[in-house]
Structure 1
Amino acid sequence: MTTAPRFPYQDPALSVEQRTEDLLSRMTLEDKAGLMFQPMSVVGDLDEPGMFNMPSMRSLLDRRINHFNILWAKSAREIAEWHNTVQRTAREHPLGIPVTISSDPRHSFTNNPATALLAGPFSQWPEALGFAAIGSAELAHRWADVVRREYLAVGIRVALHPQIDLTTEPRWARGSATFGEDAKTTSELAVAYVRGLQGEEVGPESVSAMAKHFPGGGPQKDGEDPHFAYGREQVYPGGKFDLHLEPFQAVIDAGVAQMMPYYGMPVGTEYEEVGFGFNKGVITGLLRERLGYDGIVCTDWGILSNTCWGVEHLGYEERMIKSLDAGVDQFGGEFRPQVLVDLVRAGRVEEGRLDVSLRRLLREKFRLGLFDDPFVDADRADSLVGTPEARAEGLAAQAAAHVLLKNDDGPAHLPLTAADPLRVYAEGLSASALATRAEPVDSPEQADIAILRLSAPFEERGEPGTIESFFHAGSLDFPTSEITRITTICRTVPTIVDVYLDRPAILTEIAPHAAALTVNFGSTDEAFLQVLFGNAAPTGTLPFDLPSSMAAVEASHPDTPFNTADPLFSYGTGLTYPPTA
């Protein structure tokens, strides 16, 4: 027997607009303020302290906060069970507003707690750059559909992605999660990805997409990242501000549900030199009025507390007022709704201003079906997440995304043959994985060929273990000592070099010495070996230019694509060969 709804907002037969207006009319000021915050949360006991000196989940729920961004979890079932507990607890509050759970990307290889999470129980695919290398909108849609199904299984209903910035500044630490340097490719793949998450419109089987980082985070001065004060400036010496808007206009036209402005502040433009989350000209004038966007705008995490560029001189309350005036709907990473309550009661913020944002936030919860059935089947979560089929698809995409840049004749010519097992000296490749196809040896001198799996270089920043240390920034050159070591191996034995490109490394001193050169955007040993031995073909092409020198990078315009002089390998470069099996 179905219980009749007590209030109109609980009646699924009514329209989203009717339900939203009814619920809004019943909300206290405390209810309203809580809806406008989205802190991070620990998956675990609701009474345990939160991360980064935050309150417990139960305390946050008591503050009427009901949007949360989760980080690590050991298993899909653990997330699902925690999610159901949170939803039951939320129902104990007078209006029973369900909780919306969000997540940064967690289906690839990046493991920076400030930006993305290692796949863990979820299926593992290449980074977004790998999909740009493959260049298939159909595959990007398929990837997003798998993400959608796996998120739904554990109760995640908002994806804090896709990241659709253009990687026009090669040194920038966030490039691996983008779709590369080309605006047209990024736009096509971004639309496919958003539709894979949301469908043609947001509904009960959707995961809402939050595109970022408006108005494009790529043009960072000196390639530094605005998570940190030294990287707060975005500059446009090439006059390409509008080019960076193209992917955002594309996803707006595709119905993207949410948008995140970046931390950075524009320098030398028509806009106020304050962080984009405080920038009325950018959020209201550009995003809402010029581009016609009326969805949710959620700030990047912690702009009121920490990354308040251009408004450092203002107090917490003044920053909140300025951000609201700019046009944001929700404060990411913040958890102090009482400040907003006090501002309204003091007459410094109109309650009607809150209602403008609340209509968007509530509408989203209703469209996602959270008021009607917020729970998930925890008993099935482990079987629905990371299925063998999804893992196989992810592995195939990892292999396909490899880019073959050089393939000389000789014993290291690709694909290799396993008919007569080769003696192989390997670095960055597990001996157990290699032993299924070749004979591992201990030194280059003992080998028929060498295989070196490297990662793009970076300069250490911050203290080890701090957030800053997870951002790979600075020079794209390999250290001289490392180049000497690598080229010595190459001269000793024919060598296959493979480089993980989370940024476009400079390979000028390495490429001439390698017998074969491949790059990848996140691949397991198995995916890499499938490519080497011809079980899978490398079908990728470069999603950005590979610069020839740091001098060329430093002389380029950070807002302009394909602007480094005489690149070693150009965008779109890629050789291949047919798979042998």
Structure 2
Amino acid sequence: MNATPAYQDASLPVDRRVEDLLSRMTLEEKAGQLFHSMLMMNADGTPVTETDGSMLPFTTPELVEDRFLTHFNLLGTYGAREMARWQNAVQEMAAATRLGIPVTLSTDPRHTFTDNIGASFNAGAFSAWPEALGLAAIGDPGLVHRFADTVRREYLAVGFRVALHPQIDLATEPRWARQSGTFGSDARLTAELVRAYVRGLQGPALGPGSVSAMVKHFPGGGPQKDGEDPHFAHGKEQVYPGGMREHHLEPFKAAIAAGCAQMMPYYGQPVGTDWEEVGFGFNKGVVTGLLREELGFDGIVCTDWGLLNDATIFGQTHPARAWGLEHLSTAERAARALEAGCDQFGGEQCPEVVVELVRSGRVTESRIDASVRRLLREKFTLGLFENPYVDPDLAEETVGRADFTALGAAAQRRSLTVLTNPSGLLPLAEGPRLHVRGVDEAVAAAYGEVVADPADADLAVLRLRTPYEPRENIFESFFHSGSLAFPEAELAEILDLLDRVPTLVCINLERAAVVPEIAERAAALIADYGASDAALLDVAFGRAAAEGRLPFELPRSMAAVAASRPDVPNDTHDPVFPHGHGLAL
């Protein structure tokens, strides 16, 4: 009778189990651990077993059984029961492999109103909360802990064990497309909130009840030249004209002190510093010198997605984000990232490249073992070898549970930020004739009589989104970039309504909109960071209290934005509203 392998014995110390499993692995199996790829699922909860290659090049069985990958992030929004069934099916597939190494599943944020396949998904079945910007607008670490604990419980129910968040970059360049996922421009507040966030996800220590936090984007992705995003070649440069590089590190120091398990370097290529001018995922001075040696981080370092290979997204070719190393081959790029100190390649699935690097002598197997140890240790610590499966019934009961939904709804209301109320329009009297735009008429009907013509209304409610410039590239169009000012024709239409009827304007701030004319002529102006129509109207009619304060300033003009320094918080001249502005009703 064969003895149970030591790595399968839960009574043994984790380090002994890791070493036993590592000693049994082939080079190919080790290489598979170094890739954190993407999966999609069928709507009925079954794994994808056929692909046309348009989004993902391999089927789930090919990745798990043939390429030995065991780390995946799920793309798309699905039902809770279906996600639970899917994760169990993928775990069964992994259990049937030679060593039975369980899969670690991860996800981008899923608890808000934003839907960007490159960064986050809307809440769907999960409880709906404001974006991180909205949590920052409230500024309550206790609430952030409750939020992260709710995320933890809902994620555990469907099998997600790694959160590809929190995102703790500082929102210092007003045009940057990724601000909605941050805690705004304040380093001190971001540091305070990330401590609560990490502890809410992981608990006092990483264990079977934890969701591992992959904090991003080290060493701070906010200072992007012209506010463009380094997902794309024209946005690759990260600059520090204000000399505030150290300032952007403060939240990451707090995350490390809180015990975050993983860290993701950003795509950006630092320009004009003493760092090598290559993307952070390839940057040894940043990953090993700064993160590991100076800051003492010994957790998993996973690159951002797509550093090694060109990819086809929506039928369009996107170059690998190997900024500064575009001339290197895929294998040479992989070697540079490993030399820099990264453990895992996000969004890639080419373990054969690592195998060849070792067999050719370019990378030692001991270097691969160092990263595999970290990755296996987390699987054991999370309890995946003992309990890889979830209960679909419990998942359906847990995800979107009434108390979780109520917490999220209350946070939406608290986060709303009253910017102006010059004539005391707010709170509104009950039962007015309402003209609404950007608001569901069926929701508005619970607060007043909805009328089609502004001339027949006592007041109007207008919901807007932060302006952006459409981009021809389909994938880039999801990242709202460019000008923060409304185009002239759209602004004229807005101001016409404001001049015809007293209007409450609510603008969703995913970035720092330029709204001086609207602020001057609206009867009242509110900012939201992800809130339902009912949340807005509850605040407007005094049924709930808005507590939000602006997590960044709102600039007066695009000229002021262009003249500001990308690494300096709240640096535009004469903003319409300063950071921290917000009125009480």
| Residue number in structure 2 paired with 1:71 | 75
Aligned residue for 2:106, secondary structure, equals strand
CA distance in structure 2 between the aligned counterparts of 1:558 and 1:417, rounded to whole angstroms: 43
| Residue number in structure 2 paired with 1:520 | 528
Question: What is the letter of the counterpart of residue 208 of structure 1?
Answer: S
1:142 to 2:146 alignment? yes
Question: What is the letter of the counterpart of residue 429 of structure 2?
Answer: T
1:459 to 2:435 alignment? no
| Residue number in structure 2 paired with 1:304 | 308
Distance of aligned partners of 1:249 and 1:4 in 2 relative to their CA distance in 1, 3 Å threshold: farther
CA distance in structure 2 between the aligned counterparts of 1:213 and 1:53, rounded to whole angstroms: 24
Residues paired across the two proteins, number: 569
1:416 to 2:428 alignment? yes
Question: What is the letter of the counterpart of residue 392 of structure 2?
Answer: A
Question: By how many angstroms is 1:380 displaced?
Answer: 1.9
1:240 to 2:230 alignment? no
Match of 1:55 among 58, 74, 81: 58
Once the two structures are superposed, the pairs formed by residues 327-342 of structure 1 within 5 Å of their partners are 327-342=341-356
Aligned residue for 1:39, secondary structure, equals strand
Aligned residue for 1:69, secondary structure, equals strand
Question: What is the letter of the counterpart of residue 428 of structure 2?
Answer: L
Root-mean-square deviation over aligned CA pairs: 1.2
CA distance in structure 2 between the aligned counterparts of 1:161 and 1:57, rounded to whole angstroms: 24
> Do the aligned residues in 1 keep the contact of 2:299 with 2:374 (CA within 8 Å)?
yes
| Residue number in structure 1 paired with 2:409 | 395
Question: By how many angstroms is 1:567 displaced?
Answer: 0.9
CA distance in structure 1 between the aligned counterparts of 2:409 and 2:159, rounded to whole angstroms: 25
Question: Which string of whole-angstrom CA distances, capped at 9 and with x for unpartnered residues, describes residues 441-477 of structure 1?
Answer: 11211111111100010001124xx211101110111
| Residue number in structure 2 paired with 1:443 | 453
Question: By how many angstroms is 1:5 displaced?
Answer: 6.8
> Do the aligned residues in 2 keep the contact of 1:172 with 1:223 (CA within 8 Å)?
yes
| Residue number in structure 1 paired with 2:27 | 29
> Do the aligned residues in 2 keep the contact of 1:449 with 1:493 (CA within 8 Å)?
yes
Question: What is the letter of the counterpart of residue 294 of structure 2?
Answer: R
1:170 to 2:174 alignment? yes
CA distance in structure 2 between the aligned counterparts of 1:341 and 1:319, rounded to whole angstroms: 14
**Structure 1 residues not aligned, in runs of 5+:** none
Distance of aligned partners of 1:72 and 1:309 in 2 relative to their CA distance in 1, 3 Å threshold: same
1:354 to 2:368 alignment? yes
| Residue number in structure 2 paired with 1:383 | 397
Question: What is the letter of the counterpart of residue 365 of structure 1?
Answer: K
Aligned residue for 2:517, secondary structure, equals coil
> Do the aligned residues in 1 keep the contact of 2:220 with 2:249 (CA within 8 Å)?
yes
CA distance in structure 2 between the aligned counterparts of 1:74 and 1:331, rounded to whole angstroms: 26
Aligned residue for 2:55, secondary structure, equals helix
Distance of aligned partners of 1:517 and 1:5 in 2 relative to their CA distance in 1, 3 Å threshold: farther
Once the two structures are superposed, the pairs formed by residues 183-262 of structure 1 within 5 Å of their partners are 183-262=187-266
> Do the aligned residues in 1 keep the contact of 2:77 with 2:121 (CA within 8 Å)?
no
Match of 1:365 among 348, 365, 379: 379
> Do the aligned residues in 2 keep the contact of 1:460 with 1:472 (CA within 8 Å)?
yes
Question: Which string of whole-angstrom CA distances, capped at 9 and with x for unpartnered residues, describes residues 412-434 of structure 1?
Answer: x111121xx21111100011000
Question: By how many angstroms is 1:48 displaced?
Answer: 2.3
Question: What is the letter of the counterpart of residue 210 of structure 2?
Answer: S
1:319 to 2:330 alignment? no
Question: Which string of whole-angstrom CA distances, capped at 9 and with x for unpartnered residues, describes residues 341-400 of structure 1?
Answer: 111111111000001101110110011000111110012211110011111111110111
CA distance in structure 1 between the aligned counterparts of 2:132 and 2:6, rounded to whole angstroms: 43
CA distance in structure 2 between the aligned counterparts of 1:53 and 1:154, rounded to whole angstroms: 22
Question: Which string of whole-angstrom CA distances, capped at 9 and with x for unpartnered residues, describes residues 160-199 of structure 1?
Answer: 0000000000000000000000000000111100100001
> Do the aligned residues in 2 keep the contact of 1:43 with 1:73 (CA within 8 Å)?
no
Question: Which string of whole-angstrom CA distances, capped at 9 and with x for unpartnered residues, describes residues 74-109 of structure 1?
Answer: 201111001011111111111110000000000001
Distance of aligned partners of 1:122 and 1:4 in 2 relative to their CA distance in 1, 3 Å threshold: farther
> Do the aligned residues in 2 keep the contact of 1:33 with 1:340 (CA within 8 Å)?
yes
CA distance in structure 2 between the aligned counterparts of 1:409 and 1:249, rounded to whole angstroms: 45
Question: By how many angstroms is 1:110 displaced?
Answer: 1.0
Aligned-residue sequence identity (percent) comes to 58
Aligned residue for 2:61, secondary structure, equals helix
> Do the aligned residues in 1 keep the contact of 2:462 with 2:504 (CA within 8 Å)?
yes
Question: What is the letter of the counterpart of residue 27 of structure 1?
Answer: M
> Do the aligned residues in 1 keep the contact of 2:38 with 2:56 (CA within 8 Å)?
no
| Residue number in structure 2 paired with 1:485 | 493
CA distance in structure 1 between the aligned counterparts of 2:498 and 2:472, rounded to whole angstroms: 34
Aligned residue for 1:52, secondary structure, equals coil
**Structure 2 residues not aligned, in runs of 5+:** 310-319
Question: Which string of whole-angstrom CA distances, capped at 9 and with x for unpartnered residues, describes residues 303-350 of structure 1?
Answer: 011111110000101001111100100000000101111111111110
Aligned residue for 2:548, secondary structure, equals coil
Distance of aligned partners of 1:173 and 1:97 in 2 relative to their CA distance in 1, 3 Å threshold: same
Structure 1 stretch 503-512 or stretch 44-53: which is displaced more? 44-53
Question: By how many angstroms is 1:409 displaced?
Answer: 2.5
Aligned residue for 1:144, secondary structure, equals helix
1:115 to 2:119 alignment? yes
CA distance in structure 2 between the aligned counterparts of 1:515 and 1:239, rounded to whole angstroms: 41
Question: By how many angstroms is 1:51 displaced?
Answer: 5.8
| Residue number in structure 2 paired with 1:433 | 443
Question: What is the letter of the counterpart of residue 529 of structure 2?
Answer: F
> Do the aligned residues in 2 keep the contact of 1:167 with 1:218 (CA within 8 Å)?
yes
The list of structure 1 runs, each at least 4 consecutive aligned residues, that deviate by more than 3 angstroms after superposition, is none
Question: Which string of whole-angstrom CA distances, capped at 9 and with x for unpartnered residues, describes residues 15-68 of structure 1?
Answer: 111111111111111110000001100123341226624110000002110000
CA distance in structure 2 between the aligned counterparts of 1:493 and 1:253, rounded to whole angstroms: 53
State the TM-score, normalizing by the size of structure 1: 0.97
CA distance in structure 2 between the aligned counterparts of 1:475 and 1:4, rounded to whole angstroms: 67
